[in-house]
Amino acid sequence: MKTVLVTGGKGQLALCMKDATNSLKEYNFIYVDYDELDITKKPEVDAFFLENRIDYCINCAAYTAVDKAEKEEVTAKLVNEIGAKNLAEACKKSHAILVHISTDFVFDGKKNTPYLETDEANPISVYGLSKLKGEIAVSSVLEQYFIIRTSWLYSEHGNNFLKTMLKLAEEKDELNIIYDQIGTPTYAGDLADVILKLIFSDMTSYGTYHFSNEGVAGWYDFSKNIFDISGFKVTVNPIKTEAYKTDAERPKYSVLDKTKIKEMLKIEIPYWRESLKTAIIKLGHLNN
């Protein structure tokens, strides 16, 4: 029986994976959060791998507080770069395969066509830079790895844009939402399914892949669809990025090209609005 370690065990992606693997008997999944395995501490990581004989490691652990990272650069680097490197080195010693989750924030957003895996990374925030350095650490240590970049992740678990909007809809009648940042909302449940398919297929075409749902949207479009599907009556006003000041700069355009992963795994990816409906149903907010 193969053993699969999933870090960031209390995060939304890991929780979606847990939902999908609860009844699986062929694999032994170990879900850990930082209180059980601190990936920034190399001796702790090495000891854990030695004790548990890991075959696959799915690194869902990340520092994702984009704005706080501008002031907490050391912490972002520790988790997103050093932590990734520690896992990569442990995987190398154990002959384990690493699946490392990265982000659209490694790009500067200056393109106007979907980003390919081969496009040059040029992050414009501390968070984006720390994730890019994590990618570099993984690819410099390992030959057997998958880096999966994703975007605008949400689900019924954890803290995310969907759940924030639903909470605000219960408190406010009107919201101002940015319309000129363009990307693709991605349901963590769909990403979890793709990661599992990748593992179960024993795929050996290692390297970097992009995954998000199909289609494009701005945060304004995303929020409008949340309220339309859930039935909340909220007036949404579109505003420009400049009208909503944040510590970190965001890419204006971060749509990812998924051709590579679709062809490699022979999959069809759901349109983002359909997956959004799935998540809203699971949260019990569907407009009947």
Provide the β-strand partners of residue 209: 148
- Helix (H) / strand (E) element for 217: namely strand 217-218
Please state, as a whole number, how many other Cβ atoms lie within 10 Å of the Cβ of residue 109. Answer: 22
Classify residue 40 by its DSSP letter. Answer: T
Give yes or no: 127 in active site: yes
Q: Identify the active-site residue in 31, 115, 127, 209.
A: 127
User: Using only C-alpha atoms, what is the Rg of the chain?
Assistant: 19
d(CA 256, CA 276): 18
Contacts of 164 by beta carbon, 8 Å cutoff, 6+ apart:
none
Retrieve residue 231's tokens.
């039935």
Residue 275: enclosing H or E segment and its boundaries?
helix 272-282
**Sequence letter at residue 258:** K
DSSP label at residue 81: I
Ramachandran region, residue 54 (left: φ > 0; alpha: ψ -120 to 50; beta: rest): beta
For 166, the token pair is: 């639903």
CA angle 73, 251, 242 (to 5 degrees): 95
Half-sphere exposure of 264 (CA within 13 A, CB side): 21
Catalytic residues: 127
